[in-house]
Structure formats: C-alpha cells, structure tokens
Structure 1
Amino acid sequence: MLLYVDVQFASPYALSAFVALQEKGLPFTIETLDLAAGDQQRPDFARLSISARVPTLVDGDFALSESSAIAEYLDEAHPGPVLYPAAPRARARARQVQAWLRSDFLPLRQERSTEVIFYGPTPQPLSAAAAHSAARLFAAAGELLAHGDDHLCGDAWCIADVDLALMLNRLLLNGDAVPDALARYATRQWQRPSVQSWVARERPARAVTT
C-alpha cells in the first residue's frame, strides 16, 4: 500500500491515516506532496485521489482519500487490531467525534494550526472567537471522557482518540491552558508508539514569510 501525505508531515488528517495503518500492522510506503507548491493539483494525483487531497491511500488498484473513510476501509477490509469499537453505539460515537472535529472549531484550527505542534508554538493569544471554540471543545471533551476510562470509548483505544488528542494538543503543546484531566488524556494518547512514529518524522524547515 502507498499513502500520500503532506511534505511537512503536519496534516492532522494524514496523521490519522498513518496511525490507522500503523495500528493495523499493515506494510506501506509513503509519498509526500508539497501542498504549498500545488502538487495535489497534478492531473495524475487529482485523478487518483478524486478530491485532490491528502491523505490518499492506494491499495492495489483502489485509491481512497479522506482520513475517516480510509480508517473505516482499513478496518473492514484488512485483518489486524481494530480501529473502531465493535459495539454499534460506541462505534457510532467514535465516528461522530471524527466528523465533529473535522467540521467544527474553525477559529481554533486557524489560530492554532498543527504547525504549533510540529514546528513550535506561536505567541499570538487566542482571539475571542478561538477562545470560545476552545471552551466548547473543553466542555464537550469533558462530557465524552466523564466515564473516567483512559480512552474515548472506554477501556479500549480507537482511532478517534488520535483525532481528539490532536485537537487538544493544538492548545496544550502551544502552552495554552487546558483542563488537567484533558491535558492528561491528550498527553497519554500522544505517547502511543504509532503517533510518536509520525511525530519523529524528519520535516523540512518552516517557510519564512516576509
């Protein structure tokens, strides 16, 4: 299998797909695209990906983009450790969290891009809109984790734990205040070997704007 990701290894969605492959124990290679240079718009890649986005997974003669679709495909098509809970309600909750994190919190995602995680923090304080997003994130995550177990869906890890931890780490690893229980959860999830394998990737220097 082949996984297309961004050359900076900073895309949260590429991270999610990478972790899914690692957790399933599936062999794969990586090809990087320079999104700033528009590599994703190359006709060959756009045809392959359909959406002209990373991550895109190629499995034989089948190509698929969108990280949550990739995770679901891998779980259903390949043996190995599961990425989603088996119980229908827990599985639905994990999918809900993934969809929610990908479609909400725009001010927070803009002001705390994943570059603060992989390249270093920003001193810029949160705007009122981003602070409101953070407060909503903390309230909802607190409810989701109120059961007191180590993972989102109870005592077993699932792929949605990576997505939730990354959203929290946009703030935590930038030095912004995060409630203690959520900080412990995000830190614990971030130490998972599959995640650390992504964190340890060699990255090009951050582009300097003038």
Structure 2
Amino acid sequence: MSDSLMLYTDSRFISPYAMSVFVALAEKGVLFEMTPVDLGRGDQRAPGYVELSLTGKVPALVQGDFALAESSAIVEYVDEAFQGPALYPRDARQRARARQIQAWVRTDLAALRQERSSEILFSRPAQPLPALTPAASQAAEKLLSVAGRLVPQAGKHLFGAWCIADFELAFMLNRLVSGGDPVPRVLEDYVHEQWGRSSVQRWVGFHERQQA
C-alpha cells in the first residue's frame, strides 16, 4: 500500500493501547509517522480528531482517506494489510487463544490496573508502592495463575514465536514486576524478555525523551 501512515498516540507515551499498535507496526516493519494527542488537555475530544477517529479514542491510525481507532482493530488490520512478520500465530486455534489473551487483559483485572498504573512501567516509583488492596490482590493472583498456565517454563514466547499477545500479557505482568510485587521467576524472565525487544524499547525511548 502506497498511502503513508500516521499513528496518533497519547502525548505521554504511557498508554498500553497506543504502545501495542506502535509495537505491532514496528514488528511488522511498516514505515509510519506519529502525532501525539494530549489527553490531559482533552485534545481527543476536539471536533477534528473525533471526525477523524470516529470514536475520539487514542490510538488511531490514518492511511490516506481511511482512519481506524480501537487498538485491537488496528493491530488486526496491520497484520492483514501489510507484508512482514506475522503478528498472530498462523494456527487457527493459537490465533484464537492469542486474541482471547488480548481481550482478557484489556477487559478484566481493573483493580490491578488502577493500583499499578501504566506509568510505573516507565518511571519507577521513588518510594515503595502501597500494598495491593484485597480486590487488586485477587486480580494479581488471577493474572499470575493464568499466565503461569500459558507461559512455557523454558520458552520466551507463548506460541513458539513472538506474537502481539506476548507483548500485551507481558505489559500486564510488568505492572506487578515494576511495582515490586512478588512474581514467579519464570514470569519475571518472560516480562524482561518481552520488554527488551527493540520495538518496545523504541517506544520507551519516546517516553524518556518526552520526559526530558
């Protein structure tokens, strides 16, 4: 496809949803530019952006006269529309499982997301964080239980080769790792493996430059 790509991201570079799309594009090897959107200022509600994105959500991907919001939809579009490494397993059942993982970490575990915010993944807290409340502890236990069943004991990826679900599961687990909460060694190693990928570190670099 010849139309240039523009990715609209959050201006602080801490959104897991914008980061997922960035990682997907980078892993796919697609050339794109970025436009940060200041969510704190409410720029996502500006009429021009709402007209562009349809739902006023970040991220949004624009290609010529086509604009798409909702990160899961964008990732699937990128995987289907562009050549390059696959973002999902080719096996139908594994691909369905990957999408299940994505949907789960996006819609469940709300108490954990609230008490271990995305921000701590990029700027480690100077002081120890408060202990998790019972609701967040229950969410953490569920996360560790499910991840423990999914992540291979001696493997780097869920399905043999990297896929976008690896990033999204690791991002959720990293809320605990970065928060100093107890995480089994195999899952901590899995998080570090995913966080060290060049696509992920490129995003981290944007955050660091924005903070400087």
Which TM bucket (shorter chain)? over 0.9
Task: Work out the CA distance in 2 between the residues paired with 1:60 and 1:38.
Answer: 25
1:87 alignment counterpart: 91
2:201 alignment counterpart: 196
RMSD over aligned CA atoms reads 1.2
Matched residue count:
204
Task: Work out the CA distance in 2 between the residues paired with 1:90 and 1:48.
Answer: 34
Q: Does residue 108 of structure 2 align to residue 101 of structure 1?
A: no
Q: Does residue 169 of structure 2 align to residue 130 of structure 1?
A: no
Task: Work out the CA distance in 1 between the residues paired with 2:55 and 2:106.
Answer: 16
Task: Work out the CA distance in 1 between the residues paired with 2:9 and 2:104.
Answer: 22
TM-score by length of 1: 0.94
Q: What amino acid is the match of 1:145? A: V
2:175 alignment counterpart: 170
* Mapping of residues 43-58 of structure 1, within 5 Å: 43-58=47-62
Task: Work out the CA distance in 2 between the residues paired with 1:25 and 1:158.
Answer: 14
Displacement of 1:147: 6.3
1:20 equivalent among 24, 44, 53: 24
Q: What amino acid is the match of 2:156? A: D
2:8/2:36 contact within 8 Å kept: yes
Runs of 4+ in 1 over 3 A off after TM superposition: none
Structure 2 SS opposite 1:85: coil
1:56/1:65 contact within 8 Å kept: yes
Displacement of 1:137: 0.1
Task: Work out the CA distance in 1 between the residues paired with 2:55 and 2:168.
Answer: 21
1:7/1:204 contact within 8 Å kept: no
Task: Work out the CA distance in 2 between the residues paired with 1:146 and 1:156.
Answer: 12
Q: Does residue 206 of structure 2 align to residue 179 of structure 1?
A: no
1:7 equivalent among 6, 11, 14: 11
Runs of 5+ consecutive residues of structure 2 not aligned to the other structure: none
